[in-house]
Structure 1
C-alpha cells in the first residue's frame, strides 16, 4: 500500500463523515444497542486460582491431590471460631465456646462432622461420656471452677496439639490467655459461605468476642472487592474526567458529546466481553480508566484540531475535512501502537494477563472507531444544527493558542532543543542508564494479599455514604492476628511429586539419598532433610512390628535402613498392615508415583526455597516435580517477571517496526519511526527505575505496565511527530514546525495528559492493593511520556532534520 492509497482512503472517510453524518451516528447507536445486550451476561472470576492454570507446579499439585488426596488436611470444609478476651479459658469462656459449637452442631443443614477445642477436651477429660457440645457444656457448668481450671492447665501442659489452639501469650501459672481457637468441620458438600454465615450467627448468640474464619470468607471478600472497587473507582474516574473535560472543551454540547462517546466505548468493550464469555476479574477494573483515558485523548485532539481550523474562518465541512485528513492517520497510528502495547500481554503464560491484554486491545480498536468516525460525524451534525439558531458558541478557541499560558510554556522544549540538541539527548541517555541500573533491584511478588484490601481501610472508604459504603473486610486482619498470636504448630512445607516405577530396587534409596545434606532452606534433621514420605511410613511400621522390621533389614543391602530390593513384597506387607491408610497417602495404586513432603525454614525467601527444593528434585532417579503453595506462588512470580520482560520486548520491537513502516509509507522516512521511540525508551527506563524507589514490585497487575506504557505513551510522541511532519511538509524548517506543533498539538497533549492522569490516579482509590500500585505507575508513566515528548522529542526531530533530511542520510 502506498501513500496515495492511504490518502484516498482518508479522503473518502472524511467525505463520508461530512456528507453522511446522520447515517454514521445511527449505525453506531444501533451497534451500541447490540453490544449493550452483552453487559448482562458478564460473569466475574475473582481470586488467585485462575493465575495457577498452566503453571507446572500447579499441574503437579493437582496430580498429587487427585492421586493421594490432601495428606495433612481433610477435604471437609471447616470454620475456625477465634474467641478473644482475657477470660477465654475461664469456665465461663469455655461455656461460651461450647455454646457456639452446640448451635452449629444442632444445625441440620451444616452436617457437623467434628469439633476440636480446648473447651471440648476439658469437658471430655472430666466426663468422657460427654459426646456432644451440649453435653460438654453441661459438664463445664456443673463442675467446680477450680477443677475446670486445674484440668485446663494440665491438658495444655500435656497435649502439644491442644496447646496450638491457644494464643502465644498463654500463662501456664495463671492459666490465662487472650485467645483460643475452635475448629468445626462439616460434610464435604456443605457450602463454605453458608457455614460462615451460620457460624457468625452462632457466635453472636453465644456471647463473648468471636471472629469467624473460613474458606468461605476469602471467597466472599474476593467477590465483594471487585464490586466495591468499581463503586469507588468509576465515580471518581467520571468526576475527574468531567472536571478536565469542562476545562478542555469549555462547551456543554461538546462536553456531552465527549461523555457520550466515552460511554459508547465502555459499552462496546464490555458488551463484547460478555458476548464472547471473557470473565471480569480484578485486573479488568483497570480497563475502563485506560480506555477512558485514550478516548479522552482522541476526543480532545479531535475537537482541538477542528477548532484550529474553525478559528481561521473555515466552515463546518471544510474544518472537519482538514481535521480528519490529519487526525484519522494520527489516530490510526496511535491506535495501532496502543494495540501493540496492550496486546503484547497476550504473550503471557498467565490466563488473566492474557485476557486483560485481549480486552484492552479490543477496547482500543473500539475507541478508534468511536472517536475516529462517530464523534466527528456527531460534531458535524450538531454544529450544523446549531448554525442559524440562538444557541450560543461557548469555548471555541483551541488549547495552547497564541497568548495562552500553554502556548508560551510548551514551545520551550523546541527552544532548548534548538540551542543544544546533542546536550539534551546526552542528559536523557545518562538518565536512562541510571534508571536502568535502579531497575535491577525491582522485586517480583505474587500473593493472596495482593488481591484483598489492607487490614485498615482508608477513611475515604469507610466514610462513603449509603450505596457507596463498602462491605466488611476481615480476612487480612484475621490472618495477621493469627500470625501474630498463634504458632501454627507446622513448619512450612513443600512437596516433591515423583513419577516412576516405585517397585524398582533403587526407588526408595533414591528418595533417601536425595535428602542427605539438605540445602539451607530445607530443615536439617541430623544431616537428613526433615520429610514425610513412604520411607517414614515404613520406618513407623518397622518400629511397631518386629517381623516387618526384619523383612526391611533383609532387603537393605546398603545398611541405610531403607530397603533397596524386593520392594513389591515390602509394599504388600505394608498395605496389609494397620499402616495401610498412611501408605496410601504416599504410594499410588499402580505403584508408579509417590510424594515426599519436605519441611522448610519458616521465613526463608520463597525464591531460595524453590531453588533448593529443585536441587533436591534433580537428585532423584525418576522424574520429580516440586510443588506446594510456596513453589506454585514462586512459579507464578517467575512467570509474572517473564511476562513483563517478554511483553516489553514485543511491544518495543513491534511498535518500532510498525512506526517505521507507517512513516516510510506516509512520508518516505522510516527513521521518523525510530525518532518516535526515543522518548518512549527513556520513559520505560525511568518508570522501572522509579519502582524500587516507591517500593512497588512487579506483580500480576504492574507486570503489564511496561508494555502499556509503550501503548499509551507513544500516543504523545506520535501526535507531536505527525503534526511536526505536516508542518514541515508545508515548507517550514524544523524549528518553526516544532513551535507550531507544540503550541497547537502540545496544548491538546497537555489536556489529554491531565485527563489521563485523572483516570490513572482514580485507580489508587481501589480497595485492591495491586490496582492502587498500577494506578500510581500509570500516573507516573503518563506524566513521563508527556514531559519527554515535549523535551526529548523536539531535539531528536531537529537532529533528524539535520542528519537525515539535510545530511542526506538514508531515511
Structure 2
C-alpha cells in the first residue's frame, strides 16, 4: 500500500500554509471550548456497580418495599460517644438533642431514631412525645434505666444502634448512633452527592451540631461523603503543569518552543474536555487521570518532533527541508503510536463498569486529538516561528537536540547498544528468566472493591494547607473520621436480601418461600433447621401469635397444618394489611408480584462464601429470585474487576500486536518488526503487575485499567525506537543504525519519560487514595517501558536481524560459542 502520498499532503500543508493550519486549529479549539459548560460530575462507588443484577435488585427492593412518603427524604447520622452512652446523663444528652432537632423548623426533621428513645418508651410505654420521653428518663433512677436497657435489648434493631462493646448485664456501651430523617426540599430529590437531596437542608450538619446537648457525652454529626473530584482536579492539574514546565524547559531550552508546547497542551485539554461536554459524558473520578496522560503523551510527541527537527537543522537542512524530513518520519511514528494507544484505551469499552467504558472512550478520543495537534499544529507553528525568526529579531536560546554521542546522556544511552553488540542472546535469556519469574510472582496480586477506595484519608497532609484557599482541602474530613469510628466500634449487620418475583397470590407462594429457607447453607444463620429470616411469613406468624381472630384465619387456610397458609392468600394479605401501621408493604409489593426475604448471615464469613451460599438459596426457589445486599454487590464487583483486567489486557495485546504487524508490513514490508515492538510491552506488563504485588496494591475498579494503559502508553516508546531504527537501517549497517537510533531517539525518550513520570506522578497528590495509586502505577509503567525500550530493544533488534534477514552481522559472544560447539563436533584430522 502506498501511503506516502498522504504524508506528502500533510508535509505540503504544514510547510506551505502554516498560518492557515494555525488558524484552523484555533477555530476548532473555540468550537470544542463551547462544550466545556456542559460538563457534569459524578462521584461515589454507585457509578461502578449500578449495572450489576444484584445492585438492580436492591434498587427494586428500595422502590417496592420502602415506606412511601408524600415527600422525598434525606438522612443524617448522629454518633454519641462517652464512657457509657446508656447512663442517665448520656441518655438525657441524646433525648434533649433529639427534641431540639425535631423542634427546629429549618431542619424539617420527620423523626430521630435513637436507642435513647427505645429506653425511654420501655421505662414508660405511655410516653409518646419527645417531652414525655425525656421526662421518663429524667425521673428514673440508674437502676431502673439499667433494667429498661436489658429489657429493650430484646427489641429488634436495638443492639444494632450500639457499639459492639455493648454489655447487656451491665447495661453499658461506649457509643450509639441515631438517624435523623428530613423532608427534602422541593425538587431536590433523594439522590446522593452534591446538589442532590442529600444536601438538603443546607448546612444541616452545622445546624445540628449547634443545637446538640452534650454535657455528659460527645455528639458528632456526619453529613454527606466528601466529593474530592473538583479539589483533586484543581490540585493535580496545576502541579502537573508546573512540573511539565520545568521538564519542558530542560528539553526545549527555548522559551518560544516552550510556548508552542504549552499552547498545544492547553488545546489538547480543551478539545478533550469539550468532547466530554458535547458527548454528555459525566466527569467521574477515573477521568481525572486522563489530562495527565494526554499531557504526557503530547509532551512526548512534542519533544520527538522538535528534537528530530533540530537534528536535521544541525546537519544544515533549511526550514522546509528539515520539517519535511521530520514529518515524513514522525507522522508515521505518531500514527502507529496513536493507533496502538487507541486500541489499548478502547479495550476498556468491554469493561463491566460504565465509568471505565467512559474512560476508554474519552482517552481514545484524547489520543487522536493529541495526534492531530502535535502532529500537524505544532510542526506548522514551529515552521511559522522559525520563518519569522529569519525576518525579525526573535531570540533563539537553543537549537541542538537532546543527546549526542559525546554527551553524558548519549554515553549512558549507549549501554543498551553495547550489550546488544557483545551478548544479546545471554541478556535476552536472563531477561526472559526474570520475566517468567515475575509472571509467576504476579499471579498472586489481589483484587478488591470497597467504598473506602473512593474516600480520601481522614487527615490531609500538612503541606496541602499552604495551598491557595480556592483549592485548599480541609485539614480533616469529618465524614471520613466518623465513618472510620463507626467501622471500628460498630459491627454491621450482615444480611442477604432476596428479591423474589412471581405471583404471590398463588396457593404455593408462601410454602415455596418456606421450603427455600429450610436446611440453609453454612454461612446463613439458622433456628434449628430453618434459616433466620424476616419475610411475609414471619409477619404472619407474629400477627397470629397476638391476634386470635387472625390466627383462626390462618388455621382455616393452612392445609398441611405447618403454620404457613396455602389457600386464599389474597384474603390473608388483606387481613394482614388492615392495621394502618402494618409492615406488609415492607415484604410484599402492592401488585402482589414480588416479595422481599431478609436472611441473616454470619458477619465473619468470607464474602465469596456468603455470595455462593446466597445463590444456592436463590436457586432453590421455583420463582425467580435474585440475592442482593452489600456483601454480594461488592463481591460480584471484585470478580468483575479481575475479569475486566484479563479481558482488556488480552484484547489490548491482541489488538495492538495485530495493528503493529499490519503497520510494519505496510510501511516497511517487514511484519516481524511488529512482533519486535510487542516484546518490550510484555516485559513491562509483567513488571507492573509484579510491582503491584510487591507494593501491596490490589486491582480495583479504578486501577483495573492500568494494564491496558501500560500497553497504550508504553508501546509509544518501543514504536519510536523501532520505527527510527527501520528508517536508519535503510541507509547504514545494523550497529551504526542502532547507535544513531538509541542516541537520537533515546534523548527524546528520556525527556519524555521524565516529563511523564513526574507529570502523571503528581496524581499521588490526589485526595482520592485509589487515584494516587493509579498515578504511581502509570509512572511505573512508563518507567519500565522506557527502560525496556533503550536497554532491551537493541538486543531484540540484533537477534531479529540475524533471524529475519540473511545478514551475517557479527555477534561476538554468540559466534564464539557457536564456533566452539562446531569445532568440538567436527572430526579431528586423524580420524
Distance of 1:101 and 1:443 partners within structure 2:
45
Q: 1:468 to 1:334 in 2, by over 3 A?
A: same
1:200-219 equivalences under 5 Å are: 200-206=206-212, 208=214, 212-213=220-221, 216-218=223-225
CA RMSD across the alignment: 2.9
Paired residue for 1:479, among 483, 508, 517? 483
Q: Structure 1, residues 599-621: CA drift from partner, whole Å, max 9, x if none? A: 11113232222111111112222
Alignment counterpart, residue 277 of structure 2, candidates 268, 274, 277: 274
Q: What residue number does 1:718 align with? A: 719
1:521-670 matches, within 5 Å, as 521-545=523-547, 549=551, 561-563=563-565, 565-566=566-567, 568=569, 571-572=572-573, 574-575=575-576, 581-670=582-671
Equivalent residue runs for 1:322-721 within 5 Å: 322-471=325-474, 472-488=476-492, 491-545=493-547, 549=551, 561-563=563-565, 565-566=566-567, 568=569, 571-572=572-573, 574-575=575-576, 581-721=582-722
Give the CA deviation at 1:36.
Answer: 1.7
**Corresponding position of 2:16:** 19
Matches of 2:737 and 2:103 in 1, distance apart?
82
CA distance in 2, matches of 1:706, 1:806: 36
Give, in whole Å, the separation in 1 of the partners of 2:648 and 2:607.
Answer: 25
* SS of equivalent to 2:656: helix
Secondary structure of the corresponding residue to residue 444 of structure 2:
coil
Aligned with 1:159 (options 143, 152, 155): 152
Residues 295-306 of structure 1 aligned to structure 2 (within 5 Å): 295-306=298-309
- Does the CA contact (< 8 Å) of 1:552 and 1:570 recur in 2? no
Check whether the contact 2:587–2:595 (CA below 8 A) recurs between aligned residues: yes
Structure 2, unmatched stretches of 5+, are 189-196, 809-831
1:172–1:560 Cα change, 3 Å? closer
Moved more, 54-63 or 101-110: 101-110
Q: Which residue of 2 aligns with 1:794?
A: 794
Displacement of 1:239 in angstroms is 1.5
1:238 aligns with 241
The offset of 1:152, in angstroms, is 3.4
Quick check: 1:79–1:196 contact (8 Å CA) kept in 2?
no
Matched, 1:740 2:740: yes
SS of 2:396 mapped into structure 1: coil
Deviations along 1:572-592, one digit per CA (max 9) or x if unpaired, are 565466599333333334433
- 2-side partners of 1:504 and 1:177: how far apart? 47
Kindly report which structure 2 residues correspond to 1:129-168, keeping only aligned pairs within 5 A, or say none.
Answer: 132-133=129-130, 147-160=140-153, 162=158, 164-168=160-164
Instruction: Name the CA distance, whole Å, in 1 between partners of 2:82 and 2:220.
Output: 15
Post-superposition Cα deviations, 1:470-497, rounded to whole Å, max 9, x if no partner, equal: 0452222212212322345xx3111122
1:597 match: secondary structure: strand
Deviation, 1:457, is 2.3
Q: Residues 73 and 184 of structure 2 are in contact (CA less than 8 Å); yes or no, is this contact kept in structure 1?
A: yes
Instruction: Verify the 8 A CA contact 2:112 2:180 in the aligned structure 1.
Output: yes
Query: Do the aligned residues in 2 keep the contact of 1:104 with 1:199 (CA within 8 Å)?
Result: no
Residues 211 and 315 from structure 1, CA distance in 2 versus in 1: closer, same or farther, beyond 3 angstroms? farther
Equivalent residues in 2 for 1:99-118 (5 A)? 99-117=96-114
1:167-316 alignment, distance < 5 Å: 167-168=163-164, 178-187=174-183, 191-195=197-201, 197-206=203-212, 208=214, 212-213=220-221, 216-218=223-225, 221-222=226-227, 225-316=228-319
Q: How far apart, in 2, do the equivalents of 1:487 and 1:467 lie?
A: 38
Q: Does structure 1 retain, via aligned residues, the 8 Å contact 2:114–2:177?
A: yes
Instruction: Please report how far the alpha carbon of residue 549 of structure 1 lies from its aligned counterpart in structure 2 after TM superposition.
Output: 5.0
Does the CA-based 8 Å contact 2:80-2:218 persist in structure 1?
Answer: yes
Separation in structure 1 between the aligned mates of residue 590 and residue 575 of structure 2, nearest angstrom: 13
TM-score (norm 2): 0.89
Which shows bigger deviation, 582-591 or 24-33? Answer: 582-591
SS in structure 2 at match of 1:181 = strand
Structure 2 residue matching 1:115: 3-state secondary structure: strand
In the aligned structure 2, how far is the partner of 1:529 from the partner of 1:393? 81
Q: Which residue of 2 aligns with 1:785?
A: 785
Deviation of 1:97 (Å): 3.3
Answer whether contact 1:316 1:384 (CA < 8 A) is retained.
Answer: yes
Q: For residues 694 and 451 of structure 2, what CA distance do their matches in structure 1 show?
A: 24
Specify the SS of the correspondent of 2:470.
helix
Do the aligned partners of residues 516 and 438 (structure 1) sit closer, same or farther apart at CA in structure 2, a change above 3 Å counting? farther
**Cα offset, 1:545, TM superposition:** 4.5
Q: Distance in 1 between matches of 2:463 and 2:529?
A: 55
Deviation by residue 1:200-248 (Cα, 9 ceiling, x = unmatched): 223224454755445x512xx13xx011111221122112111111111
Find the aligned partners of 1:775 and 1:255 in 2 and give their Cα distance.
25
1:28 maps onto 2:25 in alignment: yes
- Are the equivalent residues in 1 in contact too, given 2:296–2:759 (CA < 8 A)? yes
State the match for 2:49 in structure 1.
52
Per-residue CA distance 1:140-192 (angstroms, 9 max, x = gap): 7xx57xx4544433332321255654545567898776444343222365843
Are the counterparts in 1 of residues 163 and 174 from structure 2 also a CA contact under 8 Å?
yes
Check 1:123–1:587 CA distance in 2 against 1; reply closer, same or farther (3 A cut). Answer: closer
Deviation, 1:10, is 0.7
The question of whether the paired residues in 1 share the 8 Å contact of 2:428 and 2:792 is answered with: yes
* Residue 693 of structure 1, CA deviation: 1.6
Partner residue of 1:752? 752
Give structure 1 stretches of 5+ with no counterpart. none
Contact 1:310/1:316 (CA < 8 Å) preserved in 2? Answer: yes
Judge which range, 676-685 or 424-433, deviates more.
Answer: 424-433
The Cα of 1:198 is off from its aligned counterpart by 2.8
Equivalent-residue separation in structure 2 for 1:194 and 1:188 (angstroms): 6
Q: Aligned partners of 2:446, 2:61: CA distance in 1, in Å?
A: 30
* Structure 1 Cα separation of the partners of residues 134 and 205 of structure 2: 18
1:633-675 alpha-carbon deviations (Å, 9 max, x no partner): 2222222222222211111111111111111111111111111
CA contact (8 A) 1:196 1:212 kept: no
Question: Is the CA contact 1:269–1:366 (under 8 Å) kept in the aligned structure 2?
Answer: yes
1:596 Cα deviation after fit: 1.8
Distance 1:625 1:96, change over 3 A: closer
